[in-house]
Amino acid sequence: MLHSRILLAAAFALLPLAAGAETPGVSHDEITVGSIQDLSGPIAMLGAPVRDGMLMRFEEANASGGVHGRRLRLVVEDAGYDPKRAVLAARKLIQRDRVFAFLSNMGTPVVMASMPMIVEAGRPHLFPFSPHEATYLPLHPLKFQIYAPYQDYMAAATDYMVKTHEYSRTCLLYQDDDYGLEVMKGVEAGLARQGRRLTERTSYKRGATDFSSQIARLRAAGCDLVVLATVVRETVAAMTEARKLGWEVDMLVTASGYSAQTHALGGPAVEGLYGVSVLPHPYAEGATPELAAWVARYRERFGAAPNVWSVMGYTAADLLVQAAQAAGPELTVEGFRVALENLQIRPDIFGGPVYRFSADDHLGNRSGRLAQIRNGRWQLISDYLH
Amino acid sequence: MRTPLRWVAWSALALAALGVLAAMGPDYALGQLAFVATFAIAGLGVVLIVGQAGQISLGQGALMALGAYAQCLLVRLGVPAPLALPFAMALGAGGGWLASLPARRLGGLYFAMSTLAFALIIEELLVRADGLTGGAAGLAVPAFAVGPLAADSAAREALVSLLVLALAWLACRHWVDSALGRAWRAIRADEAAAQSCAIDPARAKTSAFVAGGALSGLAGGLYAHWIGFLTPEQFGLMLSFELLMLAFIGGARHLAGALWGALVIVAIPQLIALARDLLPDALASTAGLEALLFGGVLVAVVLWRPQGIAGQR
């Protein structure tokens, strides 16, 4: 009795393997896409809007008839920034949900732990939220990325700022981890282009709230530009501390500090802050009619205002939709890859970069642009920097 | 009467497991099994320290980190993975010895705080020693392999983990039944009384930490391979708490508690993820739903079995 049940169970378990050679995750009326998000961990405030942005784009595609008649279905797993859960989630999505591709997986530990088994299973690994080079180098047919390492953005931004404002004493306040070190490399490279070096650098532990000693030290060094390798809260704290002391130094924050929360939390203290923007924040006021309509639809669907992370999720999903559309009615992984590599991407309604992939470059964009907080909101002040 | 009932319960459980396996697909289930077995090994370490010797250790995650990094670095140098495991154990044991030193002067909560400090120091060292550990940027771990034989599928990972778990279990069984185990339980019950029976509490605590550290190091060595990528933040306080929770949920006084605890800590979040797929979309997409449900399950288990699943009712 028991034996026959085991056999039966084993037979059921093997069923999916026998299903044949068609592309996993692609049936005649549906394409299943997987995403490993952080909805409960330390970067859950990014995970939820990214997921909503992707959902919104897929729902729009479905409302207009799908991709070659196939509906798009997004299966989201929450790994909470834990690589162990990421490995299990990747296995579930590959085996049980049989997803066609992975989209916007969130967090470097999650991505680094799950990416090998994803590409091993032959599934495209698309646009993960990890600035790690391994997400697109060495060139791999299944790995595509649209976010460059911080280093690239920061080198261009520092170079541009020093050139246009003629700063002579650039300093750095950085988070004491891989993120901070990556930014430091970029800032040093940017300064080197102008034949300069960092005047002073000082670090803080992740989660710090008091920046008085760091700001005092930077002030004593006579900095005229302080680059902040901080996230939202630390950006606000550092700048507020400087202004409290009456130090009106210019500050430039990385894309991690480019968030509507920065001016919402910082108020007048962060007025004049420069930031690097990879994708613009979708403000409803002053938006083009298309963007305003998009913001309204997003609000109605999810009950919250969209932010830059929603735009990132939406953009990533849009690239997938465009490539799947271009790949034709017979969707295969190989066809999808070729389509993505040759995709002529239209400028979007957000003013984001025009992504471009090729057969020997799977990083779709390398440049950000400069923004500044003016009158309580981010305003773009430069074109895309190279 | 009790024994047949027990058999019925076990076969029901085995059938349920088979059903889950069939529903989830073999690789997914075996991948889970590999992690459950790996965490059960670390759990055995906690059971020895917390359940047997009665010491609170808040630094088990750091001991696992020592094993994981030792394993990763040795394998990267070309040492075959099974031969590197004893070194991972040795480093874990060494770490356990170090962490137990304050027990000679401190007791109770104060000693627990010192193990917490130990965990923080180890995590910080792993970040600072970036020439060796890759720092916060992390380190890729090669596959668990001996020559051409590699544990590169979920089934093989599970097999290796179960094999190692079985060996660890036998060793623990042996220790618990020996004079060493009696000494641990004696100091747990009453240090002064144990001392009057010629048991040296400091030695007993140290031996518990060395054995527990070795098991954590061993688990860390396997964990490194199954994850394939190490960063210090993976071994933060969260992991230490998770391991402590594992032991209490499973039943810290029983070796079987490590198995139950690992099953709850590793597999329940995954079962919740599966169950969530059945919920209506609007509810299923609530952020933090899984954490909430997991918390609920933990509270229910604690109320149902205050002594842990393996403990007396």
Whether B311 shows a pLDDT value over 90: the answer reads no
Contacts of B192 (CB under 8 A, 6+ apart): none
Across the interface, which of B22, B154, B270 has its CB nearest the CB of A9? B22
SS3 label, residue B184: helix
Which tens digits make up the pLDDT trace of A116-128?
999 999 999 999 9
Q: Cα separation of A135 and A105, whole Å?
A: 11
| A242 and A376 share one domain | yes
Is residue A14 included in any domain, yes or no? no
Separation of CA B214 from chain center: 11
Mutate to test the interface with B, among A112, A133, A181 (most CBs of B within 10 A): A112
- Quote the tokens at residue A205: 């532990």
Judgement on whether residues A122 and A162 belong to the same structural domain of the protein: no
Residues A74, A29 share a domain: yes
Does residue A374 share a domain with residue A230? yes
Give residues 98 to 137 of A whose Cβ lies within 8 Å of B.
108-109, 112-113, 116
- Interhelix angle A83-95/A108-120, nearest 10 degrees: 30
Assess whether pLDDT exceeds 50 at residue A164.
yes
Taking only the tens place, the pLDDT of each residue in B64-94 is 999 999 999 999 999 999 999 999 999 999 9
Classified as helix, coil or strand, A145 is strand
Cβ–Cβ below 8 Å for B27 and A178 = no
In a domain, A2, yes or no: no
Domain ranges of chain B: 25-304
pLDDT tens-digit map of A197-214: 999 999 998 778 999 999
The pLDDT of residue A17 is above 60? no
A261 and A313 housed in the same domain = no
Tell if the CB–CB gap between B229 and A83 is shorter than 8 Å: yes
Q: Could you report the per-residue pLDDT of B94-140, keeping only the tens digit for each?
A: 999 999 999 888 888 899 999 999 999 999 999 889 889 988 778 88
**Residue length of chain B:** 313
pLDDT value at residue B88? 97
Q: A91 vs B28: CB contact, 8 Å cut-off?
A: yes
Whether the upstream peptide bond of residue A138 has omega within 30° of 0, thus cis, is yes
Q: Does A87 touch chain B (CB under 8 A)?
A: yes
Residue B153's CB is within 10 A of a number of other CB atoms, namely 15
Number of domains composing chain A = 2
The answer to which of A55-69, A225-239, A347-361, B130-144 has the lowest mean pLDDT is: B130-144
pLDDT one-digit tens code per residue, B228-268: 889 898 998 989 999 999 999 999 999 999 999 999 888 88
CB B69 within 8 A of CB B230: yes
Band (A90; pLDDT cuts 50, 70, 90): very high
Give the chain A residue whose CA is nearest to the CA of B229: A113
For the cut 50, the answer to whether the pLDDT of residue A12 exceeds it is: no
- Tokens 């060996």 correspond to B167
Rounded mean pLDDT of A66-85? 92
Cα nearest neighbour of A93 on chain B: B28
CB-based contact A178 B266, cutoff 8 Å:
no
How close, in Å, is residue A345 to chain B by CA atoms?
Answer: 30
Q: What does the mean pLDDT of chain B come to?
A: 89
Q: Is A265 on the interface with B (CB under 8 A)?
A: no
Find residues 2-41 of chain A whose CB sits inside 8 Å of chain B.
2, 5-6, 9-10, 12-14, 16, 39-40
Task: Identify the CATH number of the domain in which residue A265 sits.
Answer: 3.40.50.2300
Is residue A296 predicted with pLDDT exceeding 90?
Answer: yes
Are residues A245 and A376 located together in one domain of the fold? yes
The neighbouring-strand residues paired with A377 are: A374
| Whole-number Å distance between alpha carbons of B250 and B258 | 6
Burial class (CB in 10 A: 0-12, 13-18, 19+), A181: buried
A76 within a domain of the structure (yes/no)? yes
The confidence score (pLDDT) of residue B158 equals 94
Interface mutation target, options A38, A84, A120, A301, chain B, most CBs of B under 10 Å: A84
Residue A83: closest CA among A50, A123, A114 = A114
> Would you state the pLDDT for residue B106?
86
Same domain, A143 and A90: yes
Considering only CB atoms, which residues of chain B are within 8 Å of chain A? 11, 15, 18-19, 21-28, 31-32, 35, 127, 135-138, 140, 154, 223, 226-229, 231, 233-234, 266, 269-270, 273-274, 277, 285, 287-291
The range of the structural domain enclosing residue A162 comes to: 150-277+369-380
Is A328 inside any structural domain? Answer: yes
Tell me the nearest-neighbour CA distance from B304 into chain A, angstroms. Answer: 26
DSSP B9-53: HHHHHHHHHHHHHHHH-HHHHHHHHHHHHHHHHHHHHHIIIIIIS
Are residues A215 and A227 located together in one domain of the fold? Answer: yes
B31, amino acid identity: G
B290: Cβ contacts below 8 Å, ≥ 6 apart: A39, A40, A78, A80, B269, B272, B273, B276
A318 and A270, same structural domain?
A: no
- At A15 the pLDDT is 42
Neighbours of A386 (CB within 10 A): 10
Least confident piece of the model among A366-380, B35-49, B293-307? B293-307
Residues A170 and A255 in one domain: yes
Which member of B234, B273, B289 has the closest CB to residue A92? B273
- Work out whether the CA dihedral A120, A121, A124, A126 comes out positive or negative: negative
Which chain B residues are Cβ-neighbours of A53 within 8 angstroms?
Answer: none
CA distance B248 to B310: 10
Which of A172-181, A269-278, A294-303 comes out lowest in average pLDDT?
Answer: A172-181
- With a cut of 70, say whether residue A16 has pLDDT above it: no
Q: Which of A16, A47, A88 sits opposite B32 (nearest CB)?
A: A88
Supply φ then ψ for residue A125, to 5 degrees: -115, 100
Give the position of tokens 């992707």. Answer: A54
A349 in a structural domain: no
Shared domain for A232 and A374, answered yes or no, is yes
By the 8 A CB rule, do B65 and B123 touch? yes
Position A3 scores a pLDDT of 53
A239 and A257: one domain?
yes
A71 interfaces chain B, CB cutoff of 8 Å: no
Please report, in angstroms and rounded to a whole number, the separation of the first and last CA atoms in chain B: 18
